[in-house]
Amino acid sequence: MPVIILTACGDESDRVQGLKLGADDYVVKPFSVRELLARVESVLRRSPERPSDVSEVVIPGGMADLSRREIRFEDGRRSELSEREAEILLYLARHAGRAISREEILTRVWHLDPKGLATRTIDMHVARLREKLGDDSGKPRVLLTVRGKGYMLADAE
């Protein structure tokens, strides 16, 4: 959750303490509404929850239509995505260029608290999704595994 501190305490030590405690920004009174809105927009751009409209994902040899939950290949083949597979692909597409941890996927897609939860469900869903995408699990080109981090959607070529 992004946090912006709005305060009259403008000493450097106050600002440093606020940022060290986890604030994403620190705004000292007086401030203009335009400045505050610009800072809110800036924080939201950096936030992992930044909404983005994604309805299609280009894949080698085809297109994933997330609104219809299907993959259409150039040779005419189609593959249906489960609701969770489409949600995973959508989440990765909305956060393209960033490795997404399994814990974040559990939190944001499954709406579960991953603390103390030992599960391989994310890996199994990604494996099935790769199969439907025609993505070689040995050398994936669409859903990349980022060692020690999680998964990332590859850039469309």
Q: What is the C-alpha separation between 25 and 92, in angstroms, rounded?
A: 26
Residue 29's pLDDT is 94
Q: What is the model's pTM?
A: 0.67
Q: In the chain, what is the straight-line distance between the N-terminal and C-terminal CA atoms, in Å? A: 33
Distance (Å, whole) CA 82 – CA 74: 21
Q: CA 37: distance to chain centroid?
A: 23
Q: What is the DSSP letter of 47?
A: S
> What's the fold here for domain 56-153?
Arc Repressor Mutant, subunit A (1.10.10)
CATH code of the domain occupying 4-46: 3.40.50.2300
Which residues are CB-neighbours of 19 under 8 A, at least 6 positions away?
Answer: 26
> How confident is residue 12, by pLDDT bands cut at 50, 70 and 90?
very high
Parts of the chain belonging to CATH 1.10.10.10? 56-153
Query: Does position 83 have pLDDT exceeding 60, yes or no?
Result: yes
Residue with tokens 């083949």: 77
pLDDT in tens, 99-129: 999 999 999 999 998 888 889 999 999 999 9
**Is the previous residue joined to 30 through a cis bond, with omega within 30 degrees of 0?**
yes
What pLDDT, on the 0 to 100 scale, is given for residue 51?
52
pLDDT (0 to 100) of residue 53: 73
pLDDT above 70: percentage of residues in the chain = 95
